[in-house]
Structures are given as structure tokens and as C-alpha cells.
């Protein structure tokens, strides 16, 4: 056996060795998952070494792998600084890389009698972990997800432009399939999916960070047009929706941060995207429209909405040849951007698209389309939208107060219980009131005992509630703020009670704001 052919065994042995780490050894389910995966890979290696010992080993360091991996790794590092679960799961990320290397090498050895060493597994594993990973007790599903991705890349192929190539991106295909399975079984709680989708916003200027780290890949591989088309389409849809409905389609963004990430580092794999220039622009538009449709559909059926960005990509991968045929038609030729600037080609043309996307990003940032601040992140916006019975007003208000209730706000639990309509759904409403009461919010205790003839009791948030429900952009308030500062922030975000308290503590502008709110409430 050639020395390089021992690489799969080395990766398998390293995976087994990780079971000795305290974070792994202390969890029997996780420990046995590691050992079983390593044993399975080891048996596979032994059979190949016996049945097919002649193996070709080569090293291939492809830019599309390590450039993409650098961008994804940078995001993981930056995000992990603000959500420490990422850093705490570093051993799980390493285990996935070891498993992916061993599995990919063994699969290649089995099918072609050759092994290729490079950076290929890195962008696959990093991409998967930017969107979905299973909790430790259920981590064997993570290995199955990875195995499915690499197997689909190797086994599910078609003829494209005279070459036999894989149909699906090895990260988006298993993410889409597992997302569908989790939705159908109601097993989302086995994953960190919901937390991943929401904690990305904890890192300041994450939109800008994603934009910047993605630029090298867009310049090298010509995918900026897809990203730009997707982002602009979704932003324009958001503007139209707000003009028609008076509310935001997504809760706290024109383009949710996890969707923005998907627009840069999920559906933009050049190997599984259209080849024509017009086709790639259409691909971006279709991704945006697909996410918009899935967000509405998932919400209508009560499923977690963060799956929206994951379900569309495999279906789109199946359509790329049809999209390219349409892009090469005579009718499409009249609007084909490839006819513009014919003198620009290759890297220069990629730079042109990156320049156009940069201008679009700057304009959207200046207009509040992307960035840390958004009115939809303010609970008072949705409180008023619900009171005015605007489209999705009460639904999105419920989403926010439910999350704040989970974070420990008794006021939010009480509001959520009221939104659940105790007369129609007494049990879930009582659970919300119980949590509010346990958090020391007296109106929730009163509602738990008995809802009066005038309806459920409600009052303004307490100081401890403001610390949770008042946002600094999309993030929690900085720790250690004085009560006056907290009330001032609450006043700025539309809490009349916050204005009154700030006024009592000597903030004269807050007194004026409180008086204005009082006059407005008395107006006929």
C-alpha cells in the first residue's frame, strides 16, 4: 500500500482519539458516536486494502476550495466570538472534518481506485456548520448528513457541456434533505438550527463582514452576479411589501442575516450554478423568490422559518440546464448582459460585477436595507402593527415576545399569553402566564388566576424587562447600563412608560416625549 493510502486510516484514528477529550468522554452518546464512526471507517479501509490494494494518490490544492474555506472560517471565528457555542463546539467541527476526509478518500478509492488529498472537505463542512448542526446527543445524524453530501456528489451526476459532473452542491443537498426530514418529523429541537439563524446578528456589522470576506471568491469565480441579483430582488420585494402592507415581510430585516449568508456562501457554488451570464442572474432572482415563498409557506403551516434558505437550493440545482437553455435562446439574447462590455472578459468581467454589487450593497446599507439597525427589531413597532391589525403584525409580535419570554422577560411572557387568546387556547396561554408569573411579573400572576371581564391584565415592562426587550440594533443592551440609560433607550424605541421613568430621573427631552405620547393618547 502506498504511504498516501494510509491517510484514511490516519483520519479515522484521529477521530477515535477525539473520544478521549473530556467534552466527548463525558457524553456517552457522543463518545460512542465517535467510536462507531471511526470503527466503520476503519473496517471500510481494511476491506479496500485487502481487496483493492493498488491505489493512486494525488494532491490537488484548488483555489475554489481554500478561498471559500477562508471566507467561511473567518465568519465562524467572528461569529463565535459573540456566540461562544461555536468555539465550545470546535472539537465537533474537527471531528466532522476528520470524518469527511476519511469518507471522501475511501469513497474515491472504492469507485475509482484513486485518492485525492486537498482542501475539498473544508468548504463543505464549514458551509454545513454555518447553517445547521445537531446537538451532541444526536450527533450521529451529523455524520450521516456529511456522508450523504459526499455520496451525492460522487453518485448523482449528469452530462453538462460535454462533461459528467455532479448535480448537487455537497453541502446544500444534505442540508435541504435533512431540513425536509426535520420539518416532517418536528425534530428541529435536535439541532442548533434556530439558534444559528438568530445568533449571527450578535456580531456587530455582520452584513458588512460577510460582504467583505466573500469578495475574493466573487472576483475569482464570477459569482457576484448571482449574489447581487438575489439581494436586490429580496430588498425590492421588501420595499414593495412595506409600501402595500405597512409592515415588514421578515420580522427584523429586509434580508435576514442567515439568508444574506446563504446568498454569498451557499447557493453560489459555480460548479452547480448556470454557466450563462443571464442564467446566473436568473438563478439569483429565483433563489430570492424561492426563499420568500418558503418563508411564507413554512410560517403558514407553523414550521420553523429558518429552513427557507436551505430547501430551495437542491431544486434550483436541478433547473440549471433548463435555465441555461433559456439563457441561450434568441429571445433572451435581447437582454443578455453578456452582450455588454464585450471587451471585458474573465477576471476583468468578474471585477465589473463585483463593482456593481458593491454599489448596490452601499446603497442598500445607506437606505437601511442591510445593517445592524432596523425598525422591525423594535418590539414596539410590531406591538403597534398588531394593535392596528396590519398584515403579519400580531404574528411577528408573537414571534418577538415569545423569544423575549424565553430570555426571561415576564412582561413578554404575559404579552405572549394574551396573544394566544386565553379564551380560545387556555392551556398554552396559561403556560405563558405561568412563566411570566415565575419571572415576577404581577399581571401574569393575575391572568393565571383569572382573566377579568375587561380582558387579561397588562402593564408596561419593568426595568428588568426593558433590559431584555429593548434592543441595541438587533443585540441585547450592553451590560452595566444605569437605569436612566435603559429608560432612555426604551423611550427612544417608543415605550411611553420608559419616557415617563426617564423624565422622573431628570431627562427633560424624555419629559417632552412623554407629554407628546399623553396628548396623542387623548386625541379623538
The C-alpha cell that represents 398 in the structure block: 408573537
250 and 160 share one domain: yes
Distance CA 72, CA 458 (A): 45
Confirm whether 270 is domain-assigned.
yes
Distance CA 192, CA 187 (A): 11
384 and 361 share one domain: no
Residue 299, CB-side half-sphere exposure with 13 Å CA sphere:
17
Confirm whether 309 is domain-assigned.
yes
271 and 359 share one domain: yes
pLDDT at 519 over 60: no
**Of 366, 400, 421, which closes a domain?**
366
Residue 65, CB-side half-sphere exposure with 13 Å CA sphere:
12
Per-residue pLDDT at 335: 74
When mean pLDDT is compared across 223-227, 233-237, 507-511, the lowest value belongs to 507-511
Per-residue pLDDT at 244: 96
pLDDT at 464 over 70: yes
Per-residue pLDDT at 510: 67
477 and 464 share one domain: no
269 and 356 share one domain: yes
**Of 366, 399, 431, which closes a domain?**
366
pLDDT in tens, 292-303: 999 999 999 989
Distance CA 166, CA 268 (A): 15
39 and 108 share one domain: yes
Average pLDDT, the chain: 91
Task: Give the structural domain span for 302.
Answer: 3-366
pLDDT at 523 over 50: no
Confirm whether 372 is domain-assigned.
no
Instruction: State the total domains in the chain.
Output: 3
pLDDT at 518 over 70: no
SS3 of residue 131 by DSSP: coil
Per-residue pLDDT at 514: 67
Could you give the C-alpha distances from 198 to 35, 194, 250, 403, 437, in angstroms and in order? 32, 6, 13, 10, 26
pLDDT in tens, 317-372: 999 999 988 888 877 667 767 666 666 667 788 899 999 999 999 999 999 999 98
Could you give the C-alpha distances from 212 to 5, 222, 473, in angstroms and in order? 39, 15, 21
pLDDT in tens, 140-194: 999 999 999 999 999 999 988 778 888 999 999 999 999 999 999 999 999 999 9
288 and 217 share one domain: yes
311 and 285 share one domain: yes
Distance CA 491, CA 483 (A): 12
**Of 447, 469, 491, which closes a domain?**
469
Amino acid at each position: 500500500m502506498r504511504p498516501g493510502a494510509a491517510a484514511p486510516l490516519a483520519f479515522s484514528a484521529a477521530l477515535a482519539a477525539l473520544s478521549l477529550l473530556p467534552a466527548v468522554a463525558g457524553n456517552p452518546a457522543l463518545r460512542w458516536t465517535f467510536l462507531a464512526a471511526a470503527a466503520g471507517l476503519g473496517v471500510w479501509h481494511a476491506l479496500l486494502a485487502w481487496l483493492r490494494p493498488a491505489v493512486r494518490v494525488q494532491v490537488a490544492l484548488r483555489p475554489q476550495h481554500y478561498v471559500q474555506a477562508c471566507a467561511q472560517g473567518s465568519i465562524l471565528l467572528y461569529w463565535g466570538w459573540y456566540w461562544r457555542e461555536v468555539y465550545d463546539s470546535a472539537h465537533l467541527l474537527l471531528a466532522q472534518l476528520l470524518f469527511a476526509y476519511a469518507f471522501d478518500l475511501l469513497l474515491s478509492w472504492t469507485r475509482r481506485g484513486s485518492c485525492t488529498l486537498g482542501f475539498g472537505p473544508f468548504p463543505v463542512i464549514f458551509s454545513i456548520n454555518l447553517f445547521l448542526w445537531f446537538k451532541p446527543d444526536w450527533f450521529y445524524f451529523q455524520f450521516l448528513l456529511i456522508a450523504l453530501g459526499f455520496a451525492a456528489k460522487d453518485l448523482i451526476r449528469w452530462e453538462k457541456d460535454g462533461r459528467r459532473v455532479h448535480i448537487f452542491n455537497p453541502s446544500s443537498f444534505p442540508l435541504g434533505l435533512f431540513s425536509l426530514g426535520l420539518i416532517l418529523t418536528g425534530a428541529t429541537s435536535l439541532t442548533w438550527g434556530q439558534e444559528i439563524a438568530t445568533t449571527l446578528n450578535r456580531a456587530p456589522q455582520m452584513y458588512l463582514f460577510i460582504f467583505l470576506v466573500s469578495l475574493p471568491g466573487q472576483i475569482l469565480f464570477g459569482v457576484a452576479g448571482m449574489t447581487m441579483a438575489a439581494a436586490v430582488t429580496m430588498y425590492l420585494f421588501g420595499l414593495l411589501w412595506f409600501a402595500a402592507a405597512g409592515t415588514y415581510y421578515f420580522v427584523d430585516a429586509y434580508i435576514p442575516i442567515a439568508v444574506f449568508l446563504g446568498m454569498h456562501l451557499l447557493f453560489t457554488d459555480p460548479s452547480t450554478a448556470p454557466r450563462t451570464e443571464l442564467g446566473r442572474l436568473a438563478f439569483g432572482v429565483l433563489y430570492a423568490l424561492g426563499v420568500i415563498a418558503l418563508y411564507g409557506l413554512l410560517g403558514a403551516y407553523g414550521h420553523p422559518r429558518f429552513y427557507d434558505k436551505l430547501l430551495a437550493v437542491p431544486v434550483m440545482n436541478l433547473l440549471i440546464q433548463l435555465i441555461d437553455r433559456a439563457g441561450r435562446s434568441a429571445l433572451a439574447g435581447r437582454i443578455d448582459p453578456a452582450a455588454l462590455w464585450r471587451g471585458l472578459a474573465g477576471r476583468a468581467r468578474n471585477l465589473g460585477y463585483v463593482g456593481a454589487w458593491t454599489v448596490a450593497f452601499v446603497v442598500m446599507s445607506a437606505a437601511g436595507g442591510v445593517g445592524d439597525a432596523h425598525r422591525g427589531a423594535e418590539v414596539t413597532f410590531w406591538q403597534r402593527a398588531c394593535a392596528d391589525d396590519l398584515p403579519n403584525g400580531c404574528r411577528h409580535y408573537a414571534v418577538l415576545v415569545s423569544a423575549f419570554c424565553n430570555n426571561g422577560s415576564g412582561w413578554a411572557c404575559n404579552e405572549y399569553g394574551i396573544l394566544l387568546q386565553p379564551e380560545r387556547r387556555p392551556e398554552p396561554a396559561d403556560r405563558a402566564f405561568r412563566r411570566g408569573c415565575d419571572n415576577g411579573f404581577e399581571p401574569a400572576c393575575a391572568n393565571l388566576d383569572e382573566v377579568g371581564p375587561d380582558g387579561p391584565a397588562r402593564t408596561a415592562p419593568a426595568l428588568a424587562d426593558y433590559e431584555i426587550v429593548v434592543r441595541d440594533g438587533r443585540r441585547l443592551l450592553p451590560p452595566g447600563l444605569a437605569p436612566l440609560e435603559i429608560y432612555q433607550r426604551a423611550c427612544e424605541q417608543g415605550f411611553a412608560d420608559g419616557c415617563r421613568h426617564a423624565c422622573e430621573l431628570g431627562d427633560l427631552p424624555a419629559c417632552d416625549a412623554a407629554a407628546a405620547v399623553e396628548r396623542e393618547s387623548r386625541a379623538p
